[in-house]
Amino acid sequence: MKKVQETAEKIRTMEIRGAGRIAKAAAEAIRDYTAGLEAASMEDFSARIREVSDLLISTRPTAVSLPNAVKLSSRYSSGNVEEARQEILENASRFIERADKALERIGKMGARRIQDGDVIMTHCNSHAALSIITTAFEEGKDISVFATESRPRRQGLLTIRHLNGFGIPTTLIVDSAVRYYMKEVDKVIVGADAIAANGALVNKVGTSQLALAAHEARKSFMVAAETYKFSPSTIVGNPIEIEERAAEEVIDLSILADLPYVKVKNPAFDFTPAEYIDMIITDVGIIPPAMAYTIIKEHLGWELGDL
Ligand code: RUB
């Protein structure tokens, strides 16, 4: 349990962050916990698996990859402890492998949509989006990147470091310079924290303004998302919760203390409507946002009764 608590804490404090990494860390935590779990009975086993699952899911509310990873990993049908343990170990390992392969596949398929000479804009720090960019570059395409800073946590600094490691020419810009530079951009590629059944995207706050600017300038807006970033519960009408983070990420609280009429809002994500998205590059193919429902039905193994 201590290791699960540590993982949960790392996700909560964003030491582990990004929807894909969070999902993989949760699956690993469940796998390791289950391997060493000493249960007195099947009821005991079930209760403990439920407890760690709930703990992991409670860490951050928006990235649907987290509950998807936990649910897919912690499934079992046997009423026998040893058999149920084996089922979970296999399911968790399968999820981890799926996640690794997904990034590679998205990179390869997405890279086919990148042309020699393309200027790409990306936002925040998405491993799926970066997989496409670095794969295209390694294939020999002469590309360059505009990377947004991504206030307030400045995940853009991770992105520029990553791209620099590949030798990809990169320009760091503040978030508010997105529209100013859009005329120099050919394609926008971002990641996803969640995709709703209607094809709407939830990603780092500011993504929707990139989409709007790309739409206005008639530039292609591409989303890189593993199939486990699609949200089954949106089919039955559940909204995706947008995480609201602490004011101190935005402003020093001592400054705020002197400003009694001022409050701070700090949403971590925003919604981009499907009509601004040209394509979603998933590990099972490149799809229009209108196909989100099909991905959920065919690749997440959900029955409506589960939701
Ligand atoms: C990260 C973020 C990323 C997505 C996709 O937000 O919005 O674009 O999670 O990332 P945070 P990936 O830093 O708040 O977790 O493609 O790596 O899953």
The answer, as to whether pTM is greater than 0.75, is: yes
111-147 confidence digits (pLDDT tens): 999 999 999 999 999 999 999 999 999 999 999 999 9
Sequence-separated (6 or more) residues with CB below 8 Å from residue 48: 37, 39
Catalytic residue among 118, 124, 175, 283: 124
- With a Cβ cut-off of 6 Å, ligand 1 is lined by 17-21, 63, 124, 126-128, 155, 191-193, 203-204, 268
Atom of ligand 1 nearest to the CA of 153: 13
Same structural domain, 90 and 120: no
Cα 254 to averaged position of ligand 1 atoms, centre (Å): 30
Using a pLDDT cut of 70, give the percent of the chain over it: 99
Is residue 103 helix, strand or coil?
Answer: helix
Catalytic residue among 175, 193, 278, 283: 193
| Residue nearest (by alpha carbon) to ligand 1 atom 12 | 126
Cα 84 to averaged position of ligand 1 atoms, centre (Å): 32
Distance CA 194, CA 61 (A): 11
Looking at 53, 72, 104, which one is the last position of a domain? 104
Instruction: Say how many domains are in the chain.
Output: 2
Residues 215-233 have a mean pLDDT of 98
Residue 43 DSSP code: H
Looking at 47, 75, 104, which one is the last position of a domain? 104
Same structural domain, 90 and 111: no
pLDDT of residue 305: 63
Q: How many residues in the chain?
A: 307
pLDDT of residue 262: 98
Same structural domain, 66 and 207: no
pLDDT of residue 77: 96
Distance CA 223, CA 277 (A): 7
Same structural domain, 143 and 155: yes
Look over the chain and give the mean of its residue pLDDT values, rounded to a whole number: 97
120's enclosing H/E stretch is strand 119-122
pLDDT of residue 41: 97
Q: Can 306 be counted among the known catalytic residues?
A: no
- Full residue range of the structural domain in which residue 52 is found: 2-104
Q: Are 62 and 194 in contact (CB under 8 A)?
A: yes
Same structural domain, 76 and 113: no
| Upstream peptide bond of 260 is cis (omega within 30 degrees of 0) | no
Residues 217-229 have a mean pLDDT of 98
Q: Residue 304 — pLDDT band, cuts 50, 70, 90?
A: low
Q: Please say whether the dihedral angle defined by the alpha carbons of residues 200, 234, 14 and 104, taken in this order, is positive or negative.
A: negative
pLDDT of residue 306: 74
Same structural domain, 112 and 55: no
Distance CA 125, CA 147 (A): 9
Same structural domain, 165 and 241: yes
Is residue 231 helix, strand or coil?
Answer: coil
Q: Classify residue 33 by burial, with Cβ atoms within 10 Å: 0-12, 13-18, 19+.
A: buried
Q: Can 44 be counted among the known catalytic residues?
A: no
Is the pLDDT at 230 greater than 70? The verdict is yes
Same structural domain, 299 and 278: yes
Looking at 104, 124, 140, which one is the last position of a domain? 104
For residue 15, what is the domain's CATH number?
A: 1.20.120.420
